């Protein structure tokens, strides 16, 4: 019998396109930002050199302003919508015009710390360091214009949790009039009942067309967007990346970048307190347009444990995960909420990448048992149901794309 680690390696090799890895064949034929950074963590277990290349390739497509786009369209492929013609960002190699969770700083530090020979990879780390620092600088300059310490996403796709219940209220404000007719491709690869709705796609597209009309001038898009949301999960990833990048910068003799990123992390952590909900026992997203916290206890507020939140908050998050009590943890939305939908993408299903980051954060915060329960549950899910894109948290049914890259990468991490 083939071991799950060998299966995971086979999937990572199968989806490898030489210098970048596709999330899965057919459904997602390009390079996605946070997928790649997490994929590198899996690749390091069998090919360290290849893992570094994955992140280096992504940063070759960083925009001059510092933004790292959420998709790099390396090759033509009509199997995905919206493709490069819709984005029309006018980049040498086409990319999308929005970003994704900034997990690169965390991934870089982990690759460096766990390298077989850190001295040998130090030059590669030193070359990536200022690029990641420029991305972080871009975030705070363009997505936190009032200096609150936390950044906003301006499109649900940026969160990586596309159709989360968190976005329902602010997303209602996005109009749909005037969008060009389009044909979705995701619903041709996967069950439409497990994907975002047409009403959501219309709004995704309206925002893309709106930003395109502003020539993708990233300095203007935040204020011009009717959708501005401060997501605790997205910010936790960025703040963890800032703290990790600061440590690495110190080690590599870049005390300027260390100081800058430490300051981002400290200010952001203080501001995270404003997102805490004692009633829900977790953090919540804030609608920046209205200033209101959004009453949606999704996994984004549990993912906050990935950054250095206070230990008592991490303990409460561990209890909240237990209280939601799905057979497979961690559901992207708790079944106790009537809006929960066990099979629809980010409105209920379990995603292994999120599990990995929550478990990592809880372990660091002294919640070793809670972290171990997430790891064990994640590996059960794979042994029983294979390497899917996401899973029903109650039945474990595999959903979305199959032979999925970042799921495979996380398995190698969970097993290590
Ligand atoms: C899309 C690739 C991406 C992930 C996102 C996930 C989904 C669909 O797939 O997005 O069309 O971009 O929501 O987090 O990066 O795996």
Task: Give the 3-state DSSP-derived string for 79-117, with helices as H, strands as E and coil as C.
Answer: CCCCCHHHHCCCCCCCECCCCCCCCHHHHHHHHHHCCCC
pLDDT attached to residue 325:
85
Best probe residue, ligand 1, of 30, 32, 86, 402 (max atoms within 8 Å of C-beta): 32
Q: Which atom of ligand 1 is nearest to the CA of 161?
A: 13
The three-state secondary structure class of 24 is strand
What confidence tens digit (pLDDT) does each residue in 105-131 have?
A: 999 999 999 999 999 999 999 999 999
**What six digits make up the tokens of 92?**
């040498």
Cα–Cα distance, 320 to 413 (Å, whole number): 24
Query: Does the beta carbon of 349 sit less than 6 angstroms from any atom of ligand 1?
Result: no
Give the residue whose CA is nearest to atom 12 of ligand 1. Answer: 157
Q: Which atom of ligand 1 is nearest to the CA of 24?
A: 16
The CA-atom distances, in angstroms, between 381 and each of 302, 339, 376 are 20, 24, 9
What does the DSSP assignment read for 183-224?
Answer: --SHHHHS-GGGS--HHHHHHHHHHHHHHHHTTT-HHHHHHH
Crossing angle of the two packed helices 352-364 and 33-43, in degrees rounded to 10:
70
Q: How many A from CA of 37 to the centre of ligand 1?
A: 14
* Residue 305: partners with Cβ closer than 8 Å, 6 or more residues away: 236, 313, 314, 317, 358, 361, 362, 365, 367
pLDDT attached to residue 1:
58
pLDDT attached to residue 2:
73
389 catalytic residue (yes or no):
yes
Cα–Cα distance, 323 to 367 (Å, whole number): 15
**Closest by CA position to 396, among listed 383, 410, 408:** 383
* Residue 18: burial class (beta carbons within 10 Å; 0-12, 13-18, 19+): exposed
From the candidates 186, 244, 389, 413, which is the catalytic residue?
Answer: 389
Positions of the chain with pLDDT lower than 50, given as ranges: none
What number does CATH give the domain 4-308?
Answer: 1.50.10.10
Q: Which atom of ligand 1 is nearest to the CA of 71?
A: 12
Query: Does the beta carbon of 158 sit less than 6 angstroms from any atom of ligand 1?
Result: no
pLDDT attached to residue 362:
98
Strand runs labelled E in 219-341:
229-230, 276-277, 282-283, 286-287
From the candidates 48, 54, 158, 162, which is the catalytic residue?
Answer: 162
User: Residue 305 — φ and ψ, nearest 5°?
Assistant: -65, -10
Q: Give CB contacts under 8 A, 24+ apart, made by 368-374.
A: 369/318, 370/318, 370/321, 370/322, 373/329, 374/321, 374/329, 374/330
Query: Does the beta carbon of 140 sit less than 6 angstroms from any atom of ligand 1?
Result: no
Cα–Cα distance, 38 to 412 (Å, whole number): 11
The ipTM estimated for the assembled molecules is: 0.99
């Amino acid at each position: 019998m083939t071991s799950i680690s060998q299966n995971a390696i086979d999937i990572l090799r199968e989806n490898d396109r030489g210098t970048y890895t596709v999330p899965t064949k057919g459904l997602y034929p390009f390079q996605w930002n946070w997928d790649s950074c997490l994929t590198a963590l899996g690749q390091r277990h069998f090919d360290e050199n290849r893992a570094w290349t994955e992140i280096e390739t992504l940063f070759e497509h960083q925009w001059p302003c510092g933004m790292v786009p959420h998709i790099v369209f390396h090759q033509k492929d009509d199997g995905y919508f919206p493709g490069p013609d819709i984005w029309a960002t006018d980049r040498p190699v086409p990319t999308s015009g929005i970003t994704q969770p900034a997990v690169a700083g965390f991934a870089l530090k982990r690759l460096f710390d766990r390298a077989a020979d850190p001295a040998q990879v130090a030059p590669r780390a030193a070359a990536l360091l200022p690029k990641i620092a420029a991305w972080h600088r871009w975030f705070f300059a363009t997505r936190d214009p009032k200096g609150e310490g936390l950044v906003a996403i301006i499109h649900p796709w940026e969160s990586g949790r596309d159709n989360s219940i968190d976005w329902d209220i602010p997303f209602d404000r996005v109009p749909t009039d005037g969008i060009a007719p389009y044909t979705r491709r995701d619903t041709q690869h996967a069950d439409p009942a497990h994907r975002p709705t047409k009403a959501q796609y219309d709004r995704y597209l309206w925002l893309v067309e709106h930003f395109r009309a502003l020539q993708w001038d990233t300095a203007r898009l935040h204020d011009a967007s009717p959708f501005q949301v401060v997501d605790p999960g997205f910010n936790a990833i960025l703040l963890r990346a800032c703290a990790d990048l600061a440590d690495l910068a110190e080690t590599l003799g870049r005390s300027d970048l260390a100081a800058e990123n430490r300051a981002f992390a400290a200010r952001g952590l203080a501001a995270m307190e404003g997102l805490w909900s004692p009633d829900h026992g977790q953090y919540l997203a804030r609608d920046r347009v209205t200033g209101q916290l959004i009453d949606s206890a999704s996994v984004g507020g549990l993912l906050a444990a990935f950054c250095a939140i206070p230990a008592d908050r991490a303990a409460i998050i561990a209890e909240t995960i237990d209280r939601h009590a799905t057979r497979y943890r961690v559901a992207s939305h708790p079944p106790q909420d009537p809006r929960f939908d066990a099979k629809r993408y980010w409105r209920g299903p379990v995603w292994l990448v999120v599990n990995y980051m929550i478990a990592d954060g809880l372990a660091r915060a002294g919640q070793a048992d809670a972290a171990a329960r997430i790891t064990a549950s994640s590996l059960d899910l794979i042994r029983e149901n294979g390497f899917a894109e996401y899973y029903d948290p109650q039945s474990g049914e595999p959903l979305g794309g199959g032979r999925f890259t970042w799921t495979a990468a996380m398995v190698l991490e969970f097993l290590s």
